[in-house]
Amino acid sequence: MRLGFKTLGDIAVAAMAGAALTACASHPPPPPAAPIGPPPHEGGPPPSSGYEGGPPGAVSRGPLPGTEQDFVINIGDRVYFDFDAATIREDAGPILSAQAGWLSHYPDVRVRIEGNCDERGTREYNFALGARRADAVRDFLVAHGIAAGRITTISYGKEQPIDPGQDEAAWAKNRNAHTAIVQGAR
Amino acid sequence: MSTILPRLGALGAAIALGLAAALGAGPALADITVDVNQAAVQPLPIAIAPFGGEAQGAQISAVVSADLERSGLFRPLEPATFRQRPDVGVVPSFDAWKAIAAQALLVGNVATGADGRLSVDFRLWDVYAGDQLVGTRLTATPDSWRTIAHQIADAVYKKLTGETGYFDTRVVFVAESGPKTKKVTRLVVMDQDGANPYYLPTDPTAMVFAPRFSTRRQEITYMALRPTGASIYLKNLDTGREEVLGRFPNMTMAMAPRFSPDDSKVAFAAEEHGATNIYVMNLANQSLKRLTDGLAVDTSPSFSPDGGQIVFNSDRGGTPELYVMNADGSGVHRISFGAGRYTAPVWSPDSKLIAFVKQQGQSFSVGVMAPDGSGERVLTTSYFADEPTWAPNGRVIMFERKMGDGASRLWTVDVTGHIQREAPYPVSGSDPAWSPLLH
């Protein structure tokens, strides 16, 4: 498939479940994200900010710390935006703080922030809007101590939705910035 | 390629006054005219006799008929009702054509010359005046028979409407396939009537968008999107050779390219740190000039036909609106003031109008306004519309439409908004751009 998104569907499923878990732990729910399939993770609630290692508890199952799965499931790799907005929402702050904490813990990791939009806009405007969203997340991570050189951004506009639906629930999911690990995960 | 056939005999120059009055014709170029500016056009009944001679004759006249019918301005009559099979070299019996209420008659003949080329003679007659309006010979290689047909349709259109035609043109667009979440995009070039579609090879690891024709060269520019960034390409349609337009180390995304009318420059939008601004690259020396500044989104630049101005989309005022500036970036002023969000502006080839998309509530419209922002008119509204592009005569706009089933289709609408057609392309298509007239 194009753009190297072979696992986009899988990641999206995990991300939605991960976001839901994270949401339950500490902050308002993300956009109406009906869980898709069973949660892939049975450990305790993930840290909502900072990162101190793997899931707590003497015996637990889950992704190995420092892996891409760890990031996606325990931190959350996607934050959501309001219509035609690129402002970091209140519910996105803790997730991005956790991303910054995790990235500080694993300094070899490099990420690409991918800005996305819903389909209720024209193509060329949405490319620019998605870029603005990606840049807002980049700025957040840099402000929280992540070296700018570890981050690249891209906008997919409305061309890579994670939910093919044609309703507000789908559009809310598709207005997002995805933090993709491109290098350095364990 | 074309020669004017001599007029056949001295026909009476009787003016069919009743006819012209019935059509509400303005200044008459011929005795019969189609007024393209009329609110709701009554299509002109025209008899297009199957062309005689070589086997391609009937194919050619069928393509002419389809072109004229699709314009919405003509109503080709059913050939089965014709009472005579006219010879292009003989003055028709007009009574036989009046009897089926044909107001114009097109006859033609196809021969193969000693050099193997097709030679097509055709004449357009004013049935009621008994006048020959057009008499021309076109020659071409046999595999170019569709081109000849489109040129004949253009000649008929021009004679009867007074406007330049648009049938001998092509469209480049994006063919979409695969599920929405894993969409595959490819560039397709086809004739404006959907014939002869072919894929343009592009890097399969990139998504491709925004193909646009140059004005005079067999060349397009387009945007290729990869995880590492978005770049603008120039591609020669004859040789297939392509090149990246410049290298912009600080710009992650270069997008929305469009040639200047003289093909000497490409205007585009580029994103840097979340801000998108408009640039112009001089193709001769690759020099780059930044035209807009600031943190807003400035995108979708489109030159005026004289190259002196650029209309673009900006949200510098809080919501997406249309702005016009001089081609050097000076004199920026807003031209859209209605309710809704305005995007995707394109200047018309005759310089009189700017087409745009307007988003209001849950619907999207294609509309036009004068370059000073006056006279805004919505032409068509649907679940989704995007990427208007002008036919070279400025009478018809092609655009991308979704009806709600999720698939993008190419549609056309004329500038009155009364004539809407789905473009004859069988699968999902988006992001169209119309070529200039080819000949």
What is the ipTM metric for this complex? Answer: 0.90
- Write out residues 204-233 of B within 8 Å (CB-CB) of A: 204-207, 209-210, 225-230
Total-model pTM: 0.85
Least reliable range by pLDDT among B193-202, B247-256, B267-276: B247-256
* CB contact (8 A) between residue B183 and residue A160: yes
Question: Quick count: other Cβ atoms within 10 Å of Cβ B85?
Answer: 10
pLDDT tens-place string over residues A138-159: 999 999 999 999 999 999 999 9
Are B428 and B407 spatial neighbours (Cβ–Cβ below 8 Å)? yes
- Whether A45 shows a pLDDT value over 60: the answer reads no
- Whether B81 shows a pLDDT value over 80: the answer reads yes
In A84-122, alpha helices (H) = 93-105
The percent of residues in chain B predicted with pLDDT above 70, rounded, is 90
- Whether A177 shows a pLDDT value over 90: the answer reads yes
For A157, nearest residue in chain B (alpha carbons): B225
Identify the pLDDT of residue B248.
74
* CB contact (8 A) between residue A4 and residue B228: no
Mean pLDDT of B374-400: 97
Q: What is the mean pLDDT of chain B?
A: 90
Identify the pLDDT of residue B42.
86
Question: Quick count: other Cβ atoms within 10 Å of Cβ A38?
Answer: 9
CA angle B421, B426, B428 (to 5 degrees): 90
Any A CB within 8 A of B406 CB? yes
DSSP string, B108-139: EEEEE-TTS-EEEEEEEEETTTTEEEEEEEEE
> Which pLDDT band holds residue A135 (cuts at 50, 70, 90)?
very high
Identify the pLDDT of residue B39.
55
Specify the DSSP element, H or E, that contains B201: none
pLDDT tens-place string over residues B259-307: 999 999 999 999 999 999 999 999 999 999 999 999 999 999 999 999 9
Query: Which of B179, B230, B431 lies closest to A164 in CB terms?
Result: B179
Identify the pLDDT of residue B403.
85
> Which pLDDT band holds residue B3 (cuts at 50, 70, 90)?
low
Are B253 and B298 spatial neighbours (Cβ–Cβ below 8 Å)? no
Identify the pLDDT of residue B246.
73
Task: Tell me which chain B residues have a C-beta less than 8 angstroms from the C-beta of A134.
Answer: 274
Identify the pLDDT of residue B5.
64
pLDDT tens-place string over residues B396-427: 999 999 987 678 999 999 999 999 999 887 77
